[in-house]
A and B are shown apart, each in its own frame.
Chain A
Amino acid sequence: MEELFEGLLNDHLGFVFWAAVAFVLLLILLAKFAWKPIMAAISERERSIEDALLKAEAAKEEMARLTNENEQLLKQARAERDLILNEARKIKDQIVGEAKAQANAEGARMIEQARIEINSQKAVALADVKNQVASLSVEIAEKLLRKQLADQQAQDAMVADLLKEVSVK
């Protein structure tokens, strides 16, 4: 056993030293001049790719949103147009109906007025006719009386009659 380890340090310490120096030197040089820029470049590129992907995704979403919005707007506009048309139709119907009703009412009113007018005219005419008939009758009666009471006797007889009637009472 001792034989195996004899001169171990004497023979091999040198190689351990050189190996350690070489590896540590390599580690320092590579870390400073290779790994640092390489890792930085890789992560930078990864970040930029991820960024670009995210942006593309966002753009796609934005696009979809815009399309959606447009469609929404279009739909809304169409609905509004329909609404306005409907309303206009309704208003038209209403106006026409109203006008019709008004015309009917006006006609009825005018007819009524005409009838009233006719009636009143008729009444006036009738009254006129009645007056004329009355005055004609009176004229006729006067003429008759005048003719009957032309002699004195008839007048006395009549007065006597009238007086008789008064004394009875």
Chain B
Amino acid sequence: MDFRHILNSKKTLLSVILGVFFTLTTCKTFAIQGENGTTEAKNAEQEAFNPTTAILEHIGDSHYWHVGGETSIPLPVILFTDKGMEMFSASEFHHGTEAHQGKYYTYKLVEDKIRVVNAGGEVDKEASKHIYDFSITKNVVALWIAGIILLIIFFSVAAAYRKRAGKAPKGLQSFIEPVIMFVRDEIARPNIGYRYERYMPILLTIFFFIWVNNLLGLIPLFPGGANVTGNILMTFVLSFIVMLVVNFSANKYYWKHIFMPPVPVWLYPIMIPVELIGVISRPFALMIRLYANISAGHIIVLSLIALIFIFKSMWVSLVSVPFVLFMDVLELLVAFLQAFIFTMLTALFIGTAVEEHHH
């Protein structure tokens, strides 16, 4: 704690923040350049830089975690085949250039997807249908990192509450507490009503999970940079859980509203399917909203960086780097906003499901 005074100086802090920002945006540039370099190395006669592929590669999942320059971390591959389980390192694929001879099949990475190949090196579509890819991919690792960060933060905050019972919050606790109070007083209580306490754990977990993952996604360097909340599968899982929670906590009024809506009986053939679609469409909208917002942010930042490579001029960075900085700051807001909206709508759906009707 002898060095605290360094961080206490506003000037130092500001320059550190700016420095980190500029470093990170530059790293992003190197990342694209590096990726581009390797593909060029692969195919010498390959066509010019294709921004679409580069960007989609960056926001997608992968069996490697690109760290910087030419370095990437190969991640473990786990496959469930019709003959049994296989486990090996993704380094066996040599970035998709080589096939790996497993216990049961020969595998190859095609556009970062694992396919079975036959002896001639051709993709065997029929056999590929029996392979289920349960690899620990980049997004899975990012998920674990986010989970560990969340556990560390909230276990230490919980410990602080135990240690300082009844006293004013201090340190990290005093940063987290207003956010928890915000979730409780602005999201849970007004939308769910007096029964809010049962749903606080799921709402808080969703909120902080999305927020932390959004923020980690904004960091272009190794522990971050994965596009977890901008992955439609992740948002699918989240909204599916929300759907389960909403429908399992629904009371008889909710179901009555779906199966016996207050309309003339002859309208039932229209109304009941509409209401049933509503059950699915609400979490579906949650899924799309989060995925699209976060992906869009990543795509904009990456597009601005890609401009440099499209124009093949260093001077474009004078325009795109400030824009990237601006977008990154905006994304900080969006990261919070999307976490808030997702949690808010979850609370709203739970609220409609547990609402009591007095008529």
Residues of A that sit less than 8 Å from B by CB: 6-7, 9-20, 22-27, 29-31, 33-39, 41-42, 44-45, 48
Contact = CB atoms under 8 A, between A and B. Distances in A.
Contacts of A41: 161-162, 165
Contact of B139 (A15, A26, A30, A33): A15
Given A13-B132, A16-B233, A22-B140, A27 B155 contact: no
Interface in B242-257: none
Nearest to A24: B241
B166 A48 contact: yes
Overall SS of chain B's interface: helix
15 contacts: A7-B113, A7-B128, A10-B133, A15-B61, A20-B240, A22-B147, A23-B241, A26-B205, A29-B151, A31-B205, A33-B155, A37-B158, A37-B161, A37-B162, A45-B166
Contacts of A35: 154, 200-201, 204-205
B182 to A, nearest CB: 12
A76 B298 CA distance: 81
B161 A30 contact: no
A16 to B, nearest CB: 5
Given A11-B113, A14-B78, A45-B166, A27 B202 contact: yes
B305 interface: no
A33 B61 CA distance: 31
B105 to A, nearest CB: 13
A14 B150 contact: no
Interface residues of B, number: 49
Interface string B126-146: 001101111111011001100
Nearest to A27: B205
B143 A42 contact: no
Given A14-B135, A42-B181, A34 B158 contact: yes
Nearest to B129: A10
A31 B201 CA distance: 5
A22 to B, nearest CB: 5
Interface in B138-194: 139-140, 143-144, 147, 150-151, 154-155, 157-158, 161-162, 165-166, 177, 180-181, 184
Most buried by B among A37, A41, A42: A41
A29 B78 CA distance: 26
Contacts of A44: 165-166
Given A7-B113, A30-B151, A44-B165, A15 B180 contact: no
B235 to A, nearest CB: 9
B350 interface: no
A63 B308 CA distance: 75
A12 B231 CA distance: 11
